[in-house]
Amino acid sequence: MNDSKSQPLLLGEAIRQQFPFFGDNPALPSDRRRIVPAYLDSAATSQKPRCVIERMTRFLSYENANIHRGAYQLSGVATENFEDARARIADFIGASSPNCIVFTRGTTDSINLVARALEPELSEGDAIVLTLLEHHSNIVPWQLLAQRKRLKLYFADISDQGVLNLDDLAQKIAATKPKIVSVTHVSNALGTLVPIKAVCALAHSVGATTVVDAAQSVSHMALDVDDIDCDFLAFSGHKLYGPTGVGVLYGKEQRLAALEPVYGGGGMISSVSTEKTTWADAPQRFEAGTPPIAEVLGLAAAVEFVRQLGMAQIEDYEEKLLYAAMERLAREKAITLYGPALHGGEQKGIISFTIDGVHPHDFSTIADTFNVQLRAGHHCAMPLLKRLGLQSTARISFGLYSIMDDVEALCEAVHFAQKKFS
């Protein structure tokens, strides 16, 4: 590991005052209320800054109206704010137009939507290529599609350190000529950073459609979909300091325009008669029914929050914190760390580990008594863990509010668990 990356900055401590979660928390038992939590599960969901909470509260309290329907002023303002949010999010990820942004319920919903929308383009025997780094949300929808259409699924291998084997991916793409290549940008189990631009170039060389799962990258680094040159990209609002229940599907404008809708109902039509229905233009044709308006506005507020901080500053801070944390954990003899950063690879925001003699689920319960929140299990990445010869790990994951004190609290829990199970 690089010693020059071992000293984190103070962004985490300084920013915590903007997150109510780190203040006096009435949701906790009285004896723990003023103990600042060591929240190390941001890969599962992030905590929310006050600006996001206030924006959603303001809409629900004073601005609540449905969009795209009402002729009255309140509805018009809500519609304007909703579409402004679409434009801000498009700009945030480098999309060429707001029309490239479809609002969904989250990454899982986005990938399922793409799988359903692409189904008419596929024929029996066609191939789809994934990798062993994928979250189940980027495996199961393709398996279901493969069952319906009798397709063939192929998985590119990874190294023992959890790095994507680009040679194996290239060979599988060249051999199978897939119609779809769907790949994570950052592994939710290891934090592995995938060279996604190179992956998309390989896929496009054989005419494949590319889908990127950016659920774990969007909060840790700047995204530029035009530079990546992916056809589709998905992420969830709640991992980007926004609310649950809202996600984004980016699609190249011409690709979205060529697809038929997946869900039917109000809002996605141009005209309806008893004989025939015609569709609205994209992205509205993929947004049937009343959308999560308050959640979209909250996500836009989250985007502005991280934009003002600067994604470059966030990435730099979290990288320093990651390496400092790995160096600290490596000093614990009972801990075995997993991930590419141990071997010079690129890793973002996530550290997985095991403790000798202590099951990850037991450790997670013990850590909670120290007010340390982390994740234990297979992390919805069972093929990945099986490839590494593991059934489960403990996982910590950082946000821009994370600090080294969180890691020290974790180490206290490790020492207690060792004594308890020795």
Beta bridge partners of 351: 396
Q: Which residues, including other chains, have CB under 8 Å from residue 172's CB and lie 6 or more apart?
A: 129, 154, 156, 178
Catalytic residue at 380? yes
Q: Exactly one of 51, 200, 230, 380 is catalytic; name it.
A: 380
Q: Which residues, including other chains, have CB under 8 Å from residue 375's CB and lie 6 or more apart?
A: 41, 43, 44, 364, 394, 395, 396, 397
Is residue 179 within 8 Å of 154, Cβ to Cβ? Answer: no
Is residue 316 within 8 Å of 260, Cβ to Cβ? Answer: no
Strands 180-184 and 209-213, how do they pair?
A: parallel
Q: How far is CA 29 from the centre of its chain?
A: 31
How many whole angstroms separate alpha carbon 246 and alpha carbon 380? 20
Phi and psi, residue 196, nearest 5°: -65, -30
How many whole angstroms separate alpha carbon 251 and alpha carbon 232? 4
Reply yes or no: is the peptide bond before residue 283 cis, omega within 30 of 0: yes
Name the helix (H) or strand (E) containing 336.
Answer: strand 335-338
Is residue 215 within 8 Å of 107, Cβ to Cβ? Answer: yes
Strands 127-131 and 180-184, how do they pair?
A: parallel
Name the helix (H) or strand (E) containing 83.
Answer: helix 73-92
Rounded to 5°, the CA angle 390-391-392 comes to 95
DSSP code for 340: G
Is residue 187 within 8 Å of 381, Cβ to Cβ? Answer: yes
Instruction: Look at the chain and count its residues.
Output: 422
- Which residue type sits at 139? I
Give the active site residues. 380
